[in-house]
Structure 1
Amino acid sequence: MPKRGGGRSRNWKDSEHFEHDDRVPTTNTRRVSFKPGALNKQSGKNRFRNWNDAKLQLLDDDIDMGANGGQSQKRKGPQFFRGRGGRLNSPGPRMDRPKKKFIAGLLPWYQIIIPYGAKHEKDVILRSLLSFISPEIFIPHYYKLNGNAAVFYVDDVKVAEKLFNADRKISMPDGYKLAVIVRNAVPNVAINAEMKEKMKLAMAKRYNASTKALDLTKFHADPDLADIFCALFRPMIMLAAIDIIAENIPDLEALNLNDNKLYGIEHLKILSTKFKNLKILYLGDNRIPYLGSLDPMKQLQLVELYLKGNPLVNRFSDHEIYVSDVRKKFPKLVRLDGVELPPAIGFDVSEDVALPPRQQSFLVDPAGQDLVREFLTQYFAIYDSDSRQPLLEAYHEHATMSMAANYLSNDNRNSPATRLNSYISNSRNILRITEREYRRRYMKTGRLQVVSFLSEFPKTLHDLMGFAVDLLVFTPAMIVLTMNGVFKETNTNGNPTRSFHRTFVIVPNTTGGFSIINDMLYITNTTKEQEEKAFGSGVAEAPPAPAPTPTPTPSADDSHKMMIGLLCQQTGMNEHWSMNCLQETGWDLQRALFIFNQLHSEGKIPPEAFVK
């Protein structure tokens, strides 16, 4: 055995390099002291595979390995020093350790432990702590002695952090530096009959029988509950409180749960079954993180709700959106966070009230019925004719028009009869066309552009009797008319049927009539039900024409007489007035019908025009 402190040097391998001298007597029984948990003594073996693993553990260890001086070494990190005779565990130099930081816990309660606090009076300890953290104050909940230590709880994270920083910074009268240990923990509690009775008595003094309101604000801090832990953020305690309330105040209408450190509130869904009359609920100054946390309580028919002071409120940068989202969960709210809400947009009907029967058409004003009928007859008579140019008279000089087309399903694209090739290329679908320039390009402006655009569409035949028409606005200054229906393309192979939705905005013009100022058209494929019902309401398709036979070409006088007879039949005017109307319109029957209906609706045709 080599002499202590002596012996020849040895060339160590890299894998055998240790941070201590290996010349140690094998009979030395002293060991490096690790704090609990540093070693895993499963099967009596060290859990570290080599000393390098032990080094890493020591770097993270909070235990001071040596407090006194000794020969220092230049290498950093924890070192093992050899004293006289090469013994291990000789005192090493004191090393600066990083200061521990306070980390807030998920739970809103903190346990404060004062080691050897039993040596001092309770008032002396509390006064010393309060003086150090001033101007902050705290209530020491459930103060008691546990062996030589004094233990109490606080329910404020700011106070807990200041007490954490007070560790060994307060000098007691005997010169002792007061140690303060802070842990994120809640007191243990067992709900028994005695605790429930105390809760019941505390609630009784907080109940207002005249308003049927119970105030449980900061319930755990009630003086009558000073000796028991009764924090309502614990689900088991909250449910016990609800049972007590339901048993003694079943007709409760208002409940205040402000400032109770509430976080998870899923268990509060029981409120809707326990309290049918609950209309007012205060949940302010709690820790509710998201608006979605209130979903379990959506069945409550609340008229007033208070949420201010919760993190969920700060998640909304726009107050209007916050109010709107809360109202979606509680539609009957009239007061939120102490502020009266404006009336909700919509209507509220009882579930047992039957809705009115479905109608094909809706007229906001029955007085507009004749005008709507005449307008549709005139417009689509021209639209379905060989030439749509007379529609120039129907549109305002500054009219705008847009058309959008889309398929009901991808299957429709594969059938030649259902393809919307005539419309898709000009479709102004703003879900698909996002660039402003392209949106502007697909918008037709001015009567010439509009009628020219409409003239490019295939020839059509509309099922007027199958229209569903809504007259939404009917005032002297504006008419808004929408309709749904079907039409056939008469010059397309197979004569495919299309479904359409159209909206007209109509305004008075300078001549005393009305003009279309805005036209929005949407075209798609028909459903099977629409195809079965189309043109089945008395407007049948024209039968196929017989084989042509040579007939004499009618003269101009014969043609004019036919048009006069048709106009007399459709308007009820006599032949004289019908002929004048046709002459003024250049013998254009469709235009004459249009002008007649326009003047007739304005009352400008004298009674003698109908005398035959």
Structure 2
Amino acid sequence: MKISGKSYYNMHYQTEGHKAQFYLEDAFTAHALVRASRQITDSEGYKQCMAKRFDSSQRTLDLNQLRSDPDLVSQNVCPILSRKIFMDAVVKIIEENIPELVHLNLSNNKLYQLDSLADLITSAPHLKALNLSHNQLKTEKVLDRLKGLKLVDLWLEHNPLCDQFKDQPSYISAVRERFPQLVKLDGYDLPLPIVFDVVATSTIPPCKGSYFGSEEIMFLILHFLQQYFSVYDSGDRQPLLNAYHDGATFSLSQPSSQSLSRCLLREYHKDSRNLKHLKDPSTRFRLLKHTRLNVVALLNKLPKTQHDIASFNIDVNTHTSMLLSFTVSGVFKEVEGAFQDGVRAFSRVFIAVPAGNSGLCIVNDQLFVRIATMEEICSAFATPAPTPSSSLVPALSTPKQEMLSTFSLKSGMNLEWSQKCLQDNNWDFNIAAQIFTQLKVTNLECIFRL
């Protein structure tokens, strides 16, 4: 026989039960033989035994209580499958001789771990049924080694792990988490798993534009945002006090899981109230700014910015006669400091209430800032923001210019908003005038005036 790559010839030995006693000439050979203890297997004897236990018609291999097999016992062979060397030999025989195996019974073998069985995933790719009952598997975690098997039938009863669950549904759920195609457990049919058919699409549907719900709300929000961000980007944010309710609240958050975010957004990090990572209740409360004085005080500390109005996407979440909630997302750039001209992306949720004839009053403001994507950076500020001097009137045809002048004169709105109102109504003067009249009745016309 060969041990550690060297050949040894048996001159004299004797056996007693499962033990063998050798008579050797030197200590070196004795140490080599000791290291081989429990490492020598009779693979040929195993193969003959497994051949008798294999049913080719059903592609089933029954290794139940293998250590008590009469043929192996008669040869003084004791295969302890809980030991890696023996299980490795069994798996190798399966791989080389019966890779088409569908059913495998390993019950009553005192198995307490399944590490060696992991090779069955590639050695027996057709394996569908596995019996591991009456063993010593203590927790469901040992099953993780077999997660690659596409089992439909599994036996685990009479293992300690079965007693670790509070009820049968928990047991089924834990096993099915590892073998989602399972339809039978311990001989019982399982309820069909809940699955969802997802139709694969070649492309992601394009994002839709802003949603306002009505033109009245659209005019109100657009004008509010134009006023708000013109002040926010002016360098002096103190006038924003007039935009907030006395009891307003404000919170700022950013993705704090990435070190790059913490570096590039460090001016925002110290005030970030990311509840996913912030567990201390007192810190959570401290970072939630209460009253308009504290809100604007924090806004004044944030980096000076310039927002790209053309990038804004606006969605109205809730609208009642007494409350308006909407989300604004887009990009801005910092105009001073270490990251001057650095483009950032943001999402902001405003909750506002009516404020007389002046428009809206903010009661809750939630700002989320993140690093902009490359696509957002490339498209940022590509379209110049509209200004009173950058009127599009010269590009209009003569009839439209005349209609625009007349509408602006009669409505009292500036040319920019008069043109928007006409464009939104396909240049139908009467419909645009009707909508403006409705707004005037509800005392909203003041937000469009010069």
Shorter-normalised TM range: 0.5 to 0.7
1:443 and 2:292 are equivalent in the alignment? no
1:361 aligns with one of 188, 194, 207: 207
**1:567-606 → structure 2 map (5 Å cutoff):** 567-572=417-422, 574=432, 578=436, 581=439, 585=443, 588-589=446-447
Aligned residue identity for 2:53: A
Q: Contact 1:284–1:310 (CA<8 Å) still a contact in 2? A: yes
- 1:192 maps to which of 44, 57, 61: 44
1:364-513 correspondence runs (5 A) = 371=213, 377=222, 380-386=225-231, 402-405=251-254, 421=267, 423-424=268-269, 426-430=271-275, 433-443=278-288, 461-466=306-311, 485-488=330-333, 496-502=341-347, 504=349
Contact conserved, 1:382 with 1:388, CA < 8 A, in 2?
no
Q: Distance in 2 between matches of 1:539 and 1:241?
A: 73
Task: For 2:435 and 2:172, locate their aligned partners in 1 and report how far apart those are by CA, in whole Å.
Answer: 64
Summarize deviations over 1:525-565 as a string: whole Å, max 9, x none: 546764443112x34586999xxxxxxxxxxxx99975355
What is the Cα deviation at residue 259 of structure 1?
2.3
What 5-or-longer segments of structure 1 have no aligned partner? 1-145, 154-184, 510-514, 546-557, 594-612
What does the per-residue CA deviation read over 1:360-379, in whole Å, with 9 as the maximum and x for residues that have no partner?
5269xxxx956499767466
Q: Which of 87, 94, 102 is 1:253 aligned to?
A: 102
Whichever residue aligns with residue 486 of structure 1, its letter is: V
TM-aligned CA distance change 1:449 to 1:406, over 3 Å:
farther
Partners of 2:313 and 2:329 within 8 A in 1: yes
For the residue of structure 1 that corresponds to 2:104, the secondary structure is: strand
1:467, 1:483 within 8 Å by CA — same for their partners in 2? yes
Match of 1:218 in 2: 65
Distance 1:215 1:398 in 2: 75
SS at match of 2:226: helix
Given that residues 362 and 469 in structure 1 are in contact (C-alpha distance below 8 angstroms), is that contact kept between their aligned partners in structure 2? no
Unpaired runs of 5+ residues, structure 2, are: 1-13, 20-36, 232-238, 355-360, 391-407, 423-430
- For 1:233, the equivalent position in structure 2 comes to 82
Matched, 1:262 2:107: no
SS at match of 1:201: helix
CA contact (8 A) 1:202 1:225 kept: no
Give the aligned residue type for 1:276.
P
Cα distance, 1:192–1:516 mapped onto 2, change above 3 Å = farther
Match of 1:201? 52
| 1:555 counterpart residue number | none
| Alpha-carbon contact 1:303-1:334 (below 8 Å) kept | yes
Assess, with a 3 A threshold, how the Cα gap between structure 1 residues 332 and 508 changes in structure 2: closer, same or farther.
farther
Cα displacement string for residues 150-169 of structure 1 (whole angstroms, at most 9, x for unaligned residues) = x689xxxxxxxxxxxxxxxx
1:280 and 2:129 equivalent?
Answer: yes
Note the C-alpha offset of 1:260.
0.9
Matches within 5 A, 1:32-431: 190-192=42-44, 196-204=47-55, 209=58, 213-222=60-69, 226-228=73-75, 229-235=78-84, 237-242=86-91, 250-288=99-137, 293-294=142-143, 296-307=145-156, 309-310=158-159, 329-333=178-182, 340=190, 343=193, 355-359=201-205, 361=207, 371=213, 377=222, 380-386=225-231, 402-405=251-254, 421=267, 423-424=268-269, 426-430=271-275
Flag the structure with higher helix content: 2
C-alpha change, 1:412 and 1:261, in structure 2 (3 Å) is closer
Whole-angstrom distance in 2 between the partners of 1:481 and 1:584: 21
Equivalent-residue separation in structure 2 for 1:412 and 1:196 (angstroms): 61
Shift of residue 385 of structure 1? Answer: 3.7
Residues 371/579 of structure 1: CA separation in 2 closer, same or farther (3 Å cut)? closer
- TM-score, normalized by length of structure 1? 0.44
Instruction: Indicate if the aligned counterparts of 1:217 and 1:257 stay in contact, CA closer than 8 A.
Output: yes
Deviations 1:457-500 (A, max 9, x none): 677654355467899x9999xx9987753124579999744523
Tell me by how many angstroms 1:223 deviates: 5.4
Residue 521 (structure 1) aligned to one of 358, 367, 377: 367
Letter in structure 2 aligned against 1:381: Q
Contact 1:388 1:455 in 2 (8 A): no
Residues 42-70 of structure 1 show CA distances to partners (whole Å, capped at 9, x for unaligned) of xxxxxxxxxxxxxxxxxxxxxxxxxxxxx
Structure 1 residues 275 and 239: CA distance shift in structure 2, 3 A: same
The 3 A distance-change label for structure 1 pair 490 and 290 is: same
What CA deviation, in whole Å up to 9, does each residue of 1:385-420 have, x standing for no partner? 43667867xx9x99975321468757986xxxx776
SS of alignment partner, residue 108 of structure 2: coil
Per-residue deviation, residues 296-349 of structure 1 (Å, max 9, x unmatched): 53332234444455566778899999877766654544566668478468x687
* Cα 1:505–1:493 shift into 2, 3 Å: closer
1:278 CA drift (Å): 1.5
Cα distance in 2 between the residues matched to 1:516 and 1:316: 51
- Which has the higher relative contact order, 1 or 2, with Cα contacts under 8 A spaced 6 or more apart? 2
TM-fit CA distance, 1:254? 3.0
**CA distance in structure 1 between the partners assigned to 2:325 and 2:411 by the alignment:** 38
SS at match of 1:286: coil
Q: Is the contact between residue 485 and residue 501 of structure 1 (CA under 8 Å) also seen in structure 2?
A: yes
Taking a change above 3 Å as real, the CA distance of residues 293 and 517 of structure 1, as seen in their structure-2 partners, is farther
Does the C-alpha gap of structure 1 residues 461 and 201 become closer, same or farther in structure 2, counting only changes over 3 Å? same
**1:567–1:589 CA contact under 8 A, matched in 2:** no
CA distance in 1, matches of 2:343, 2:130: 54
Separation in 1, partners of 2:171, 2:189: 13
Measured in 1, the distance between the counterparts of 2:283 and 2:312 equals 32
Q: Distance in 2 between matches of 1:491 and 1:576?
A: 46
The 3 A distance-change label for structure 1 pair 201 and 500 is: same
Partner Cα distance (2:250, 2:276) in 1:
17
Alpha-carbon distance in 2 for matches of 1:470, 1:275: 54
